Structure 1
Amino acid sequence: MKETQILLIEDDPLDMELTLFALQENKIANYVQVVRDGEEALDFLFCKGKYSSRDKSQQPHLVLLDLKLPKVDGLEVLRQLKYNEHTKAIPVVILTSSVLERDVINGYKFGANSYIQKPVDFEEFKKIVTELGLYWLKFNRGVPDDAFT
């Protein structure tokens, strides 16, 4: 994969727009794939359903994951992603409004690389999304693309 790709798993339209705005304004990624529920996220990651023709070796460089999702919740998406040999090395940042301690604990137990509570203030939200994008996609050395083949 030559372009930097983020998979944004978010069901809230406003949070999705704010995240996309922050990423695009700061040119964090070349491409952001948005999915709106946990089932679609799993289909995308494992090339099923409408994503069955997607190349499995072309995995995102970063997953931004909300926890409170329809169909399949975010913790189950995380568990399956980290359990699978072909996807477990993908960095996953939980970006959620949940303040529940059990969500934080389970997020890390299931393999999240980071847990960030969404701030209410737009400027703070934008700053956080920008900084996490810069860290994971610009400063951090990620897994080489051919590791997913």
Structure 2
Amino acid sequence: MAMDRPILLIEDNPDDEALTLRAFTKNRITNPVVVARDGVEAIDYLTGTGSHQGRDMTVMPVLILLDLKLPRIDGLEVLRRIRAEEHTAMLPVVVLTTSREIQDIQQAYRLGANSYIRKPVDYERFIHAVSQIALYWLTLNETPESAANSPY
């Protein structure tokens, strides 16, 4: 079930991480949240390697929130690797970043981002943005898994 599956938050800024987690709480999002603080940790989680060696690979994130400006491996390369692997290729990836660079937006979509959202600076707008992300991706969006498990 989607509510049991984790959200993977790939974010290196501790303030943005705390703000996102606060927004999840305020919006009553109860999914567990796994935080990866750089691109290597994100890839390790998704592939069950490195610091996430041995994790249950049958439990994949219901949603990935991906910052672009990451240490070690940047967000665009993380996105490229997510889309290159069969077991992660169809996971929903929402780029949630401060970048307004047109080349970042274009490249993210070329690499298969499902959505590109610029982080609002204002706290209330950020809370609202997270609410909208959750409403769509955790409630309304049909996934290949939900379609396969449908009784219809």
TM range (shorter): over 0.9
Measure, in 2, the Cα distance between the counterparts of 1:46 and 1:131. 29
SS of 1:119's partner is coil
1:95 partnered with 2:91:
no
Partner in structure 1 of residue 75 of structure 2: 74
Tell me the matched-pair count: 146
Task: Give identity over the alignment, percent.
Answer: 51
1:4 Cα deviation after fit: 3.2
Please list every run of 5 or more consecutive structure 1 residues that lacks an aligned counterpart in the other structure: none
The 8 Å contact of residues 5 and 61 in structure 1, kept in 2 or not, is answered as yes
For 1:35 and 1:143, the matched residues in 2 are separated by: 25
Tell me, yes or no, if the aligned pair for 1:6 and 1:29 is still in contact at 8 Å. Answer: no
Q: Is the CA contact 2:7–2:63 (under 8 Å) kept in the aligned structure 1?
A: yes
Q: Deviations over 1:92-125 (max 9, x none)?
A: 0000000100000000000000000011111001
Are 1:119 and 2:115 counterparts? Answer: no
Local SS of the residue matching 2:17: helix
Distance in 2, matches of 1:33 and 1:24, equals: 14
Q: Larger relative CO (CA 8 A, sep 6+): 1 or 2?
A: 1
- Find the aligned partners of 2:85 and 2:7 in 1 and give their Cα distance: 19
| Per-residue deviation, 1:18 | 0.7
The question of whether the paired residues in 1 share the 8 Å contact of 2:5 and 2:59 is answered with no
* TM-score where L is the length of structure 2: 0.92
The root-mean-square deviation of aligned C-alpha atoms, in Å, is 1.4
Structure 2: any 5+ residue segments left out of the alignment?
Answer: none
Match of 1:40 in 2: 41
Question: 1:127 & 1:26 partners in 2: Cα distance?
Answer: 9
4+ residue segments displaced more than 6 Å? none
TM-score w.r.t. structure 1 length? 0.93
